[in-house]
Amino acid sequence: MLPSCAQSGPLNVASHVWPGYELIFLARSLGWLPSDTVRLIETTSATRSLAALADGRVDAAALTLDEMLLARSQGIALQAVLVFNTSAGADAVLSRPDIREPSQLRGKRIGAETTALGALMLDRLLARGGLTRQDVQIENLTPDAHLTIWRTGTLDAVVTYEPQVSHLMQLGAYRLLDSRQLPDTIFDVLAVRSSMAARYDNALRVLIGAHFRALGHLRHNPQDAAYRMATRLTLPGEAALLAFRGLHLPGITQNRRILAADGRLLSVAGDLSALMLRTGLLPAADTLSSLCTNAYLPEGDGE
Amino acid sequence: MMLRLIATAALLAITLASLPAMATERLRLGIPANGPVEELRRQWQPLADYLTRSLTGHRLELAVLDQEEMRAALNSNSLDFLLGGPIDLIKQRENSVMTSVLATLVRSENGTPVPVFGGAIVRRKERTDIRQLSDLSGKRIVATGQEYLGSYAASLREIKDAGIPPESLHIRYLGQPFSRVVDAVLDGEADVGLIRTGLIEEMERTGKLPLDRLEVINRQGFTGFPFSASTRLYPEYPFIALTHTDPTVVRQITIALLSLKPDDTAARAAGIHGFNPPADYLPVEQALRELRLRPYESAPLVRWEDIWQRYQNLIVFAGLAGGAILLLLFNLSLRNGQLLAARRDSEAANRELARERGMLKTLIQTLPDLVWLKDPQGIYLTCNAALEYFFGAREAEIIGKTDYDFVSREQADFFRRHDQEAAAANAPKKNEEWVTYARDGRRVLLETVKVPMYDGDGKLLGVLGVSRDITERRRTQEELERHRYHLEDLIENRTRQLEIVCDEALAANRAKSAFLANMSHEIRTPLNAITGMVHMMRRNGLPTEQLERLDKIDRAGQHLLGVINNVLDLSKIEAEKLALDEIEFPLASLFANVNSMLSDRAAAKGLALRISSDLPQLRVIGDLTRLQQSLLNYTANAIKFTEAGEVTLGCSILKESGPELLLRFEVSDTGIGIEAAQVERLFSAFEQADTSTTRKYGGTGLGLAITRKLAELMGGTAGAESQPGVGSQFWFTARLHRCDPNDDVHHAPEVGGNEALTQLIAHHLGRRVLLVEDEPINQEIALELLHDAGLVVDMAENGKLAVDRCLAVNYALVLMDMQMPVMDGITATQRIREQPALQNLPIIAMTANTFAEDRQLCLTAGMNDYLGKPVEPELLYTTLLRWLPTDR
């Protein structure tokens, strides 16, 4: 094996708390990620992760596909090397129990991250209720603030995701809309700075391999995995597994298919780019060049 | 004594009370004796009772069994349910196929559900030398036994995964109770103890262990798990149903288990939260396999699949290498074979070459042409027999010599020059040369083709020449040339003569046409005036006497018109200027028209005019006018020459081929008849049967001639049969096309005259039309007719004025005379049609020229229709009705 050009230090990966990203943290806690190869930098939100990418503190980040497109449009050339999960219910818009229909949100206050996914969910929500942005009050939020703000009672609805969804529903919130209504739109990926991907070839393979190993562990030792992940997911014990409801975690073979040159990620990215362009989230449609690669996935099918 | 009686009675009562229960079926639930039996019974009996209550006709009996008893009970199938450790499940599953886990136990710790457990590796707090798993090597380790998951296998697995082979450890097994291990570590008898999670916490709670004395190493970071752990977590105890248990009972038990609430007595007594749906115990199985613990003590069979899995790459590599070697060997032997084959082929090729060479030599020798090859210096390299003959020497004598040795100097120079040209040209060169044959002195013309020849390297070998004797050929050619020139002269003369004649003929023809046209116009115009005037005069109301006189003038005029028409027709036919119309019409209408035109005349003479009842019901394409003319002619004659009786008109199909029909039209009468000898003369022009008939019956004698000519024009002929005093049958045949409804042909107008007038007044009253006519009389006539129809009429006296008016006023229709001064009708129409707005303006020609070509001319110029002059009022009205636009 040829030695790669001198890797200056470990690959720094930014990630906020999200069930799909938890597997790499599980891998870390099980000792499968040597810290001189890969360093996981915990952030509080996708916004912070994007900021870390922008000022070069990290060379990779765990992001949703639309967040990745957003970064690319801002000049950060990113390439997706792993699909953590697709969302089928884990992203949701929750409302006060008396609001049961999106149309009832007229004149109400909605909390959302106005960058990336939040805007998309908001857009869908408004469309369903036959409303425009002028018909509602948008409060700009970061996800770490969702729970606290909700408790203050100043919001009527919030665009959020697990584990906050589970928390808020325990507080009586109503699931007004979720990502099951946006099938195959929300991909969570590991995005690497394209120019650095080759330099961190080994680190990427280790990180991605660890993710799948942790996935296998979760499958066969769900309780053990649950208790380990419970800390970061802030859900007690076995309840941590509940956070994975509404997520589909593709294995190696499926990952290989999705990330292929003719795979789903590219086609979804194209549609997503168009949607985001339409809703003003992107200044121009993404060229989709070097958007993704399955070159860093492990051989075989894992088991 | 009394007391004893009461006691016995009570005992009896109790026994009796439990009798009904004993009559039901007994099920046994086994639990391992992992502690004092009585205490375990106290804890778990309530659960057994709870489960019993959920069953009907069954009773669940609790059996607390140690290892030996457990094994015996399982072997003898005397247990129905088992609530034991996960390892018991795995063992049981290995032995019987259908062990099923109904539920997984969930213990309770301070109200927190705990569905998992693991192992804890403990040391005395002071033993800081033991921190990681790797520190366990060489230490004294104690455990309760090997058959426990939490208390043994879990920890051992972590140790093995850390890289320490379990065989290298010194482990002592202390047996039940579990607390023995803790005590041993506390006492210092052992360095490390393997216990299950929760034991320490329980012992500390019950005061059996002083707090803070023991430390758990390799602590795992679990959140929500209330105990310290050194290993990964595994699902809690499974509640197992053994194979033979009744499925209905199993279902009831399962429901009861999963419905158990934490605050239920049974749950509280056992210290459990309840039961969860069954967990996945695969990790337990995997641990046992890894550790080669019972039931997986024997080494796993190595299967081919395993070897393949492990040494995949090596095997593939070796296979490829071997394959490569084989391939090379194969290739080598192939090459060898090829070499041998090549040698054989080359020998065969040589033999073939020699053969071909022989054949070639023979070919060249037998050619009658002279064939030779000279080198660049002009020295002969080879030649054939023909050249030998020419030079009068043998090949052997020729080779090595040049032309200078055989022919005259000039000739040799000539040859040499051409050889050099050929060599330089790099392409075949042809030349002709007169030579003298040496042998017989004959002079011969040779045509020689010289080609430069190159060897394989591209060097010039020499010049190849092939000469052909063309003396004879040349002679023949020259003679032909002479003939040709002579012939051309002749042809040119003739052509010139013919041109002259042709011109004269054309000129004559044109003169004739012009004459005819003029005559026609000159004669018809005044006639038009006469008949027109008569018509008008008649309408204005006159005394009877005048009316009668007018009638006579009218008849005379009509007659004159008829004569003129006939004359013109005949001369037209003679001049072959008559072109037939192609109109689609129903055959029946032809007869109907004739009938309507002549019925009055017949009635006046008291004759019956009939149409045969078996007329073919056809639509045909043909010249309706001419056919009508012929039929009219016959019918009029029949009426004329019949005093009493009837005249019958008929038609039959003589021949039919596809759409083409040969029809026979016949008019038979009961008239005076004709002598047979005279019938034929009738049909020639200017002959009458005899002059006496002329005087009695009138007529010009032209009609029948015309009829025959017309019939002949139509591909048929005309004739008659007659019996004097009985009657005559006059007939003619004509070829007509059966009408295909899809044919786009000019349709005959179908509205009759007077009806047309009525409709004109009804639909077009007050519409403005333009009349273009230079003759004042014709103007007057036309104006009257148009006013009668309720139309508003503007006048223009020539074509130019007509164009100006059309541009100025929106007319519904234009009636255009043809021959006018300043600008004639054709030109005027063309000018009008140049205007885009006037493309659809109906323009009707009024023409004295009734030649078909003139009609065609009108249509080509852009006119929509034509009316013959003199204008027939009915036809005018029908035509107007046809062309006046219906929308306003």
Q: Where are the domain boundaries for CATH 3.40.190.10 in chain A?
A: 3-86+187-278, 91-181
Contact B116 A230 (CB under 8 A): no
What Å distances lie between residue B111 and A237, B114, B199, B542, CA to CA?
14, 9, 17, 139
Contact A228 B221 (CB under 8 A): yes
| pLDDT value, residue A1 | 43
ipTM score assigned to the predicted complex: 0.71
CB-CB neighbors (< 8 A) of B234 in chain A: 221, 223-224
**Residue A217: closest C-alpha in chain B:** B283
Say if CB A150 and CB A158 are below 8 A apart: yes
Structure tokens at B375: 């080198």
CB-CB neighbors (< 8 A) of A222 in chain B: 279-280
Q: Looking up tokens 């100025």, which residue turns up? A: B808
* Distance from the Cα of residue B69 to its chain's centroid: 83
Picking from A222, A237, A238, the nearest residue to B280 by CB comes out as: A222
pLDDT 10s digits, A247-269: 889 889 889 999 998 888 998 88
| pLDDT value, residue B514 | 72
Contact B222 A230 (CB under 8 A): yes
CB-CB neighbors (< 8 A) of B283 in chain A: 220-221, 224
Interface test with B, best of A217, A218, A220, A221 (most B CBs within 10 A): A221
pLDDT 10s digits, A123-163: 888 888 899 888 999 888 876 788 888 888 889 999 988 77
Q: How many CB atoms lie within 10 A of CB A191?
A: 31
Residue B733: which of B756, B749, B710 has the closest Cα? Answer: B710
Structure tokens at A143: 């996800």
CB-CB neighbors (< 8 A) of B114 in chain A: 237
Say if CB A57 and CB A12 are below 8 A apart: yes
**Residue B282: closest C-alpha in chain A:** A220
Assign domain A91-181 one CATH number from 3.40.190.10, 3.50.50.60, 3.90.1150.10, 1.10.3680.10: 3.40.190.10
CB-CB neighbors (< 8 A) of B232 in chain A: 221, 224
Picking from A220, A222, A237, the nearest residue to B224 by CB comes out as: A237
| pLDDT value, residue B564 | 77
Report the SS3 class of residue B448: strand
CA distance A238 to B302: 38
List all residues 6 or more positions away from B118 whose beta carbon is below 8 Å from its beta carbon: A224, B150, B154, B196, B197, B220, B229, B230, B231, B232, B233, B234
Q: Which residues of B touch A (CB under 8 A)?
A: 112-116, 118, 220-225, 232-235, 279-280, 282-283, 286
| pLDDT value, residue A211 | 96
Q: How many CB atoms lie within 10 A of CB B43?
A: 19
Picking from A220, A222, A227, the nearest residue to B222 by CB comes out as: A227
Which of residues B793 and A117 earns the better pLDDT score?
A: B793
Contact B115 A223 (CB under 8 A): yes
Residue B145: which of B293, B300, B38 has the closest Cα? Answer: B293
Interface test with B, best of A213, A217, A218, A227 (most B CBs within 10 A): A227
| pLDDT value, residue A115 | 58
Picking from A222, A227, A239, the nearest residue to B225 by CB comes out as: A227
Interface test with A, best of B158, B232, B275, B282 (most A CBs within 10 A): B232
Contact B283 A224 (CB under 8 A): yes
| pLDDT value, residue B675 | 84
Picking from A220, A231, A236, the nearest residue to B282 by CB comes out as: A220
How close is the nearest chain B Cα to the Cα of A227, in Å?
A: 5
Residue A186: which of A253, A71, A90 has the closest Cα? Answer: A90
Give the DSSP letter of residue B153.
I
Superfamily classification of domain A3-86+187-278: Periplasmic binding protein-like II (3.40.190.10)
Contact A238 B235 (CB under 8 A): no
Residue B781: which of B765, B802, B795, B801 has the closest Cα? Answer: B795
Helix (H) or strand (E) holding A175: strand A174-178
Interface test with B, best of A29, A217, A223, A299 (most B CBs within 10 A): A223
Say if CB B786 and CB B769 are below 8 A apart: yes
Contact B223 A230 (CB under 8 A): yes
pLDDT 10s digits, A24-62: 999 999 889 999 999 999 998 888 898 999 989 999 999
CA distance B68 to A75: 73
Contact A227 B279 (CB under 8 A): no
**Residue A219: closest C-alpha in chain B:** B280
**Residue A230: closest C-alpha in chain B:** B223
Report, as an integer, the average pLDDT of A105-127: 81
| pLDDT value, residue B850 | 64
Contact A223 B223 (CB under 8 A): no
Report the SS3 class of residue A266: helix
Picking from A223, A239, A240, the nearest residue to B235 by CB comes out as: A223
Interface test with A, best of B109, B114, B223 (most A CBs within 10 A): B223
| pLDDT value, residue B839 | 87
| pLDDT value, residue B14 | 64
Between chain A and chain B, the number of residue pairs with CB atoms below 8 A apart is 56
Picking from A220, A227, A236, the nearest residue to B283 by CB comes out as: A220
For residues B702, B706, B708, B710, the Cα torsion angle rounded to the nearest 10 degrees is -170
CB-CB neighbors (< 8 A) of B197 in chain A: none
CB-CB neighbors (< 8 A) of B113 in chain A: 237-238
| pLDDT value, residue B347 | 86
CA distance B688 to B675: 12
Say if CB B653 and CB B661 are below 8 A apart: yes
Q: Which residues of chain B register pLDDT less than 70?
A: 1, 7, 9-23, 97, 243, 299-306, 438-439, 513, 517, 574-577, 685-701, 740-754, 849-853, 887-888
Using pLDDT thresholds of 50, 70 and 90, give the confidence band for residue A4.
very low
CB-CB neighbors (< 8 A) of A230 in chain B: 222-224
CA distance B262 to B549: 140
